[in-house]
Amino acid sequence: MVIATAALIVASLSAGADVVTATREPTIHISIPAATDGPQREPTQTGCWSSSEQGGAGWGPDRPLFSGNHSPSYPSLNATPDNPNYGDERNFLLVKDAAALDPRAWSDRIEVQPGHEYMVRLYIHNAAEADDLVAKDTKTSVALPTCAGHAIAIYGFVKSSNSFPDSQWDGVVVWSRETFNLAFVPDSAVLLNNANPSPGIALRGESGVLTGEGVLVGSTGMDGELLPGYSGSVIITFKFRPQFAPR
């Protein structure tokens, strides 16, 4: 994969930011758990559960994987299980307490607390072997349920018109021993890429991120074109608050 020699800054994210060093490849210093809860043919648990012990949010669909010097001859998103800068890309949606500074805080499952804000992060990488194998019409969206429960699944979706597969998803679960629901933090959604490092591109309002239509993303802007290689990677983040009933 061709990597630019200029300093690359992919994601320096407000509170609890992950430090990204200036190297030939954007290095994301986080510990990513392997994608172990899937695959699923499609998300089947996108709502709420009455018990904090319930809930699971796999990933999917199953897809060809590419490691090391092996790259596909077509656009392929989040298909590297051992990305040296990230980890298992099938696990492309993660959540943490927004104030957490420890890079190991990113997780598939987290207990939420009153008065805290939480950050969701969605990562996209095109593993294609050639510079002209650009993923087209690349969109992302997030399903943030409005129901209440003791465990809630959040799903992230990525679509591209010419990639294989043309759509994929991953999920996280947030839970509490008390009943709660989720509230999106207004104007918290941000797109980061090497052309637009911190503070990135602000996605005002919900900007389609929380709708089925989704929002176009890209390696240089909001044009839907995702360039091959780690330097073309894109990150979307947003925040939410858990809301609890008054005691």
Write down the pLDDT at residue 11.
33
DSSP bridge pairs for 87: 83
Write down the pLDDT at residue 121.
97
- At 188, list the tokens: 């918290």
Task: Give Rg (Cα) of the chain.
Answer: 17
Q: Is the peptide bond before 43 cis (omega within 30 degrees of 0)?
A: no
Write down the pLDDT at residue 35.
53
Mean pLDDT by 10 residues, the chain (247 residues): 28 34 32 50 67 78 90 96 92 97 92 97 96 96 92 95 96 94 94 93 77 89 95 96 89
Nearest to 95 by CA among 22, 4, 16, 20: 16
Please tell me the distance from the alpha carbon of residue 240 to that of residue 119, in angstroms, as a whole number. 7
Write down the pLDDT at residue 58.
84
Please tell me the distance from the alpha carbon of residue 126 to that of residue 145, in angstroms, as a whole number. 28
Q: Give the burial string for 133-169 (b: 16+ CB within 10 Å, else e).
A: bbbebbbbbbbbeeeebbbbbbbbbbbbeebebeebb
Write down the pLDDT at residue 38.
52
C-alpha pair distances (Å), 149 with each of 37, 53, 118, 139, 233: 21, 11, 17, 29, 34
Place of tokens 């997030």: 142
Prediction pTM value: 0.83
Q: Which amino acid is at 245?
A: A
Write down the pLDDT at residue 205.
65
